[in-house]
Structure 1
Amino acid sequence: MSPQHLTVRAIEATLVVVPMRRALGTSAMLVTQAPLLLLDLQTEEGITGRAYLFCYLEAAGAAALALVRDINAELVGKTAAPAAVRRALEARFRLLGARGIVSMLMAGIDIACWDALAICAGLPLATLLGAQPRPIPAYNSNGLGLLDARAAADEALELVSEGFHAIKMRLGRPLAKDDLAAVRAVKQALPAGIALMADFNQALSRNAAVERCQQLDDEGLYWIEEPVRHDDYATSAELTALLRTPVQIGENFAGPRAMAQALAQRACDFVMPDLERIGGVSGWIDASALANVAGIELSSHLFPEVSAHLLASTPTAHWIEYVDWADAILQEPLKVVDGCLSAPARPGNGLTWDPDAVRHYQKW
């Protein structure tokens, strides 16, 4: 069977809401559960490609479910080739606009198409993309929200004890001194050699970012992430030139073109595209090429299961962000080995749902 000749039979979507082991307190909101939209792209040839999307809000997942019905009507009976699917969906949503939930769903369908192709070829997704699954250094992002200094230090040690050599904490407390105290408490608690990333989640104005980031510049942070609005490339470029600590952005790149604009403006030292915002596997391939040409290290944002395959095929691969939010509904979650994650060697992207768990957490 040729991977290029798979035909879409149906696309099924299921919304589950999974509680998080640790609440994630950010400058934008407190997140205690993960609304995940599970996508199953079934083909006439009997192969099913899978993907999941993180919807941030349960209501967004419910809206996405309604759009899946429209996507089904558009794609049933047509090829599952990713490029052809994207062209069909871009045409379908031209007037509505391929943004927000629409863009997210298009990325999810793209991921599922690539999974089906890899399964059909009998190859891990990484190998289909020209690489072999390999260990990727990972940082633990399961927690370390806006806690007080002592609680942050305690949780930092918990995160490291789960087998990681790097962790990430969130910043953006109302007072700069409290952010500084939390960073210092965590750094003091961590064993030598543990990398500490910090994420503001777009909390700061330009002036506040200059002041706060300079205060943190000698605290030994591995990077400072998204201090200002995600598309304020001018201020990000100013901070990149000003600070000794690397500036990381990219989880909000709305496709590879946005990443190209950021790189052209020298808006960061590192990039970290998000799988559902960059455009799925196809968008990642373009982003990887941009990072390679620019000679800039590329990390992932969320979705560690598929990102492990993509980073294995990324020339400037850097770090994989580890969250365990999907573990509860997966038959075979990823395992951390010596601070790294490796994509599984089985065909496809490795996503297989646990049907009992899906029924337990299903909302729609």
Structure 2
Amino acid sequence: MKITAVRVEVVSEPKHHAVRDAIQLLDRDGHVVTTIETDEGVAGRSDTYFGREPSSPAILARIVQDQLAPAIVGSDPRLIRGIREQLRALTDYQGTAGLSTFGMAAVDLALWDLLGRSLEVPVWQLLGARRDAIPTYAMVGWLELDETALADVAVRAIEQGFRGVKMKVGGGTLHEDISRMRAVRSAIGDEPDLMVDANQAFDYAEALSRGRAYEELGVRWFEEPLPAHDTAAHVRLADKLDVPIATGENRYGQRAFTDLITAGGVGVVQPDLRRAGGLTDCLEVGLLAAGMGVPYASHGGGAHIHVLAALPNTLYMESGLLPEDGSVHLTDGTYPLPTEPGLTGWARF
């Protein structure tokens, strides 16, 4: 089997409901669809999401179409790790981290989708799954919501069967954070997990101060308290707090996780399929973390469910609210594995 063509489609439009975290407004619904075709008539597809800059999807599409695609046409699509190493070398001069990694992830996911479709099985079967359903929580607590709306959406998530909810913090004062957290906890009760996410908003001193306050309120984890690149500060913070530090979504490639995990700077590792470089790198990050006794919780859902099915240290999948059409139901707080060949209906990641 050989790759014969790579096609790219771009969508960029305003989001129906803009959401806010501590550092940015996400007001765009942009994405890039990458399709890899073969001489045997089997195609694989990936869908890369962009929630902010209007021009980013088009820039990514140019990288995939003009730089990455010519390098892989004629290759055997089953040699996924070989293609990854080829693209790493190709993008090294310009800097592989950043949009180059987004492009490599788009290719990687499309290749896994193609492999599953060629064998007519879902990708989790190819990875050696160890579970048939994934524990899941809902990320619903955006900062543009007032306390009443925040509590309402958290209750809705619990009514849909999620095991917990996550909310954003750091957009205002610590007093405001605590008031919002108490509103959510009062609304959902004591049993569901409550996670907080600062999106890299704090320096070390502020993260330590707020982390101590958050852990007194019984949060399950404290996510992205610090700039993602600062491994030393993560190690210091983890040593001072009892609440697990969750981070990883803004680290690029599997190699960027080694020091963080081995030094003890993360209590819940959270790669992002786009920034980590795709399913291949996320799987490798997860296995490294498993070897060090660190649990794994995905940043986002979609195609990530296949990795979560295979890892021994899976803790949680992140999700939004379930679709209104009733097409998905949770069982005991777990998300069912997809049955379609390839990835999850070409799910966005």
2:118 to 115, 120, 124: 120
- d(CA) in 1 for partners of 2:142, 2:333: 18
1:62-86 per-residue CA deviation (whole Å, 9 max, x = no partner) reads: 1011112222222222221212322
**Equivalents in 2 of 1:213, 1:23: separation in Å?**
27
What aligned pairs does 1:65-214 form with structure 2 within 5 A after superposition? 65-70=61-66, 71-80=68-77, 81-131=79-129, 134-214=132-212
State the Cα distance separating 1:206 from its structure 2 match.
Answer: 1.2
Change in CA separation of 1:269 and 1:353 when aligned onto 2, cut-off 3 Å: closer
More displaced 10-residue stretch of structure 1: 335-344 or 267-276: 335-344
Partner Cα distance (2:334, 2:13) in 1: 24
TM-fit CA distance, 1:352: 4.2
2:293 to 292, 295, 306: 295
Match of residue 39 from structure 2: 44
Does residue 253 (structure 1) correspond to residue 251 (structure 2)? The answer is: yes
**TM-score, normalisation: structure 2:** 0.91
Task: Name the residue aligned to 2:342.
Answer: 348
Partner of 1:279: 277
Alignment match of 1:240 (pick from 216, 234, 238): 238
Note if contact 2:123-2:306 (Cα within 8 Å) is conserved in structure 1. yes
Shift of 1:19: 6.2
2-structure distance, mates of 1:243, 1:316: 22
Which runs of structure 1 show a deviation greater than 6 angstroms over 4 or more consecutive aligned residues?
Answer: none
Give the stretch that moved more between structures: 135-144 or 271-280. Answer: 135-144
| Secondary structure in structure 1 of the residue aligned to 2:296 | coil
Cα distance in 1 for residues equivalent to 2:200 and 2:327: 30
Residues 311-334 of structure 1, C-alpha deviation per residue, up to 9 Å, x if partnerless? Answer: 010010110011379x89xxx975
Kindly report the root-mean-square deviation, in angstroms, between the aligned alpha carbons of the 2 structures: 2.4
Contact 2:47/2:347, CA 8 A, preserved across alignment:
no
Matched-pair identity in %: 28
* TM-score (norm: length of structure 1): 0.88
1:283-310: per-residue Cα shift (whole Å, max 9, x none)?
12211220111011001011x2211111
Q: What's the offset of the Cα at 1:159?
A: 2.7
What runs of 5+ residues in structure 2 fail to find an aligned partner?
none
Question: For the residues of structure 1 that align with 2:278 and 2:235, how far apart are their CA atoms?
Answer: 27
Structure 2 residue aligned with 1:311: 308
Q: Give the Å deviation of 1:264.
A: 2.1
Q: 1:31 corresponds to which letter in structure 2?
A: L
- Shift in Å at residue 144 of structure 1? 3.1
- Aligned residue for 1:117, secondary structure, equals helix
Gap change, CA 1:134 and 1:237, over 3 Å in 2: same
Structure 2 CA distance for aligned equivalents of residues 24 and 333 of structure 1: 25
Q: Does residue 34 of the first structure (1) align with residue 29 of the second (2)?
A: yes
1:268 aligns with 2:262: no
SS at match of 2:233: helix
1:222 pairs with 2:220? yes
Aligned pair count? Answer: 345
SS in 2 for 1:78: coil
Greater displacement, 138-147 / 63-72 = 138-147
